[in-house]
């Protein structure tokens, strides 16, 4: 896949139109996904290689995206650490035994990631047999994984997490280090199975102040990026707040940074080294707009990044479940016809 637009852009060598893929591109907005989901639980889909591979292929078959992202979930690492995980239809992910004390951190097992998450490697191998576009692997970043394990699920303000890191930073760092260790092993598992690019999700890093980001996020992302560099597989860093934290993320020398929709991507481009590719940053809500407005916004972004050899079109966050299929078709067609 040497001629892949995605891989060229990740190496800042693309002289064609920007590649396009979307975070959560295989999801509930697709009727084909809902048909599979009606027969299987979410975790069953993640744990069954044949189902995960089939769902990963869906948006490539329907929309013709320039890359596939593995169907899985960032919380498979906490699941492997034995804290218990299930998904509630109304509440999202639930950690059944959330961490409450420093002793809980020290009691976490040291799982064999290759065994505990071997189903992910098998899904990747199945996909590489017939996938005609690059496959992106992914995992959650330590701070985001820690927040789920402490909060017991999703939280708007991460109050328990922030109280912990403020009152007992030493044990919080132990947790982050343990999670970074597991995540790096998981990254290498996916590399060995055949992913061609990798994205690290730090979905909740935006709740932190700058000093906290530098202390509790950046060092652990660095550990993962540096520890994965020997594979030669390009890494994309994504976090909400990336329009603010982009200079800090650029210090880590990943292949690319995925930018949220709160910043002007052209200004961010001008402020960062040319060797770092940028991904993003369409507001996900634009997909609810009338067709004319949607196409206008897409073209505006394409004009802003025209001629950039390291640019990947994406949303500033994941696609929402109630977006129309027509909107996604219009987005992809507008980019491909530019």
Q: Give the span between the Cα atoms of 11 and 303, in whole angstroms.
A: 21
- Cβ–Cβ under 8 Å, residues 73 and 46: yes
With tokens 């064999």, the residue in question is: 112
Instruction: Tabulate helix, strand, coil % of the chain (nearest 5).
Output: 50, 15, 35
Q: Give the span between the Cα atoms of 318 and 184, in whole angstroms.
A: 23
- Cβ–Cβ under 8 Å, residues 66 and 98: no
Q: What is the pLDDT, as a whole number, of residue 276? A: 98
Of 86, 108, 81, 84, residue with least CA distance to 97: 84
Strands (E) in 27-184, as ranges, are: 68-69, 85-88, 92-95, 135-140
pTM metric for this prediction: 0.97
Q: What is the pLDDT, as a whole number, of residue 162? A: 97
User: Residue 252: CB partners within 8 Å, gap ≥ 6?
Assistant: 218, 221, 222, 225, 237
Q: Give the span between the Cα atoms of 234 and 137, in whole angstroms.
A: 11
Strand partners, 237: 200, 257
Active-site amino acid positions = 24, 28, 37, 73, 148
Q: Give, for 175, the enclosing helix (H) or strand (E).
A: helix 169-193
User: Residue 23: CB partners within 8 Å, gap ≥ 6?
Assistant: 69, 238, 258, 314, 315, 317, 318, 319
Residue by residue, pLDDT tens for the chain (338 residues) are 668 999 999 999 999 999 999 999 999 999 999 999 999 999 999 999 999 999 999 999 999 999 999 999 999 999 999 999 999 877 789 999 999 999 999 999 999 999 999 999 999 999 999 999 999 999 999 999 999 999 999 888 899 999 999 999 999 999 999 999 999 999 999 999 999 999 999 999 999 999 999 999 999 999 999 999 999 999 999 998 899 999 999 999 999 999 999 999 999 999 999 999 999 999 999 999 999 999 999 999 999 999 999 999 999 999 999 999 999 999 999 999 98
- Cβ–Cβ under 8 Å, residues 302 and 313: yes
Per the structure block, which two tokens stand in for 139?
Answer: 């995992």
Q: Are strands 256-259 and 277-282 parallel, antiparallel or unpaired?
A: parallel
Please give the span between the terminal C-alpha atoms of the chain, in angstroms, as a whole number. Answer: 23
Q: Give the span between the Cα atoms of 241 and 222, in whole angstroms.
A: 17
Q: Give the span between the Cα atoms of 28 and 17, in whole angstroms.
A: 28
- Cβ–Cβ under 8 Å, residues 81 and 148: no
The CATH class of 5-336 is alpha beta
Q: What sign results for the dihedral spanned by CA atoms 234, 239, 242, 244?
A: negative
Distances (CA, A) of 261 to 89, 235, 242, 283: 27, 20, 9, 5
């Amino acid at each position: 896949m040497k001629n892949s637009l995605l891989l060229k852009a990740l190496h800042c060598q693309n002289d064609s139109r920007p590649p396009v893929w979307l975070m959560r591109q295989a999801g509930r907005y697709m009727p084909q996904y809902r048909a599979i989901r009606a027969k299987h639980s979410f975790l069953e889909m993640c744990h069954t290689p044949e189902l995960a591979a089939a769902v990963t292929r869906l948006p490539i078959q329907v929309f013709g995206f320039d890359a596939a992202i593995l169907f899985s979930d960032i919380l498979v690492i906490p699941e492997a650490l034995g804290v218990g995980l299930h998904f509630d239809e109304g509440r999202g992910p639930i950690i059944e035994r959330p961490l409450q004390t420093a002793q809980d951190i020290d009691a976490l097992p040291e799982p064999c990631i290759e065994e505990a998450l071997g189903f992910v490697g098998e899904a990747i191998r199945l996909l590489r047999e017939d996938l005609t576009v690059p496959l992106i692997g992914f995992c959650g970043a330590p701070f985001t994984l820690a927040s789920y394990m402490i909060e017991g699920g999703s939280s708007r303000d991460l109050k328990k997490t922030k109280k912990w890191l403020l009152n007992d930073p030493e044990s919080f760092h132990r947790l982050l280090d343990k999670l970074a260790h597991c995540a790096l092993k998981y990254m290498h598992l996916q590399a060995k199975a055949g992913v061609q690019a990798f994205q690290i999700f730090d979905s909740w890093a935006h709740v932190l102040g700058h000093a906290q980001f530098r202390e509790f996020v950046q060092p652990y992302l660095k550990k993962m990026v540096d520890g994965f560099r020997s594979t030669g597989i390009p890494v994309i860093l994504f976090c909400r707040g990336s329009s603010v934290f982009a200079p800090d993320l650029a210090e880590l020398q990943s292949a690319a940074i995925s930018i949220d929709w709160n910043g002007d991507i052209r200004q961010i481009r001008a402020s960062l080294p040319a060797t770092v590719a940028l991904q993003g940053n369409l507001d996900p809500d634009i997909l609810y707009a009338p067709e004319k407005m949607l196409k206008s916004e897409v073209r505006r972004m394409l004009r802003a990044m025209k001629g950039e050899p390291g640019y990947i079109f994406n949303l500033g966050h994941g696609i929402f479940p109630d977006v129309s299929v027509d909107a996604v078709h219009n987005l992809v067609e507008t980019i491909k016809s530019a």
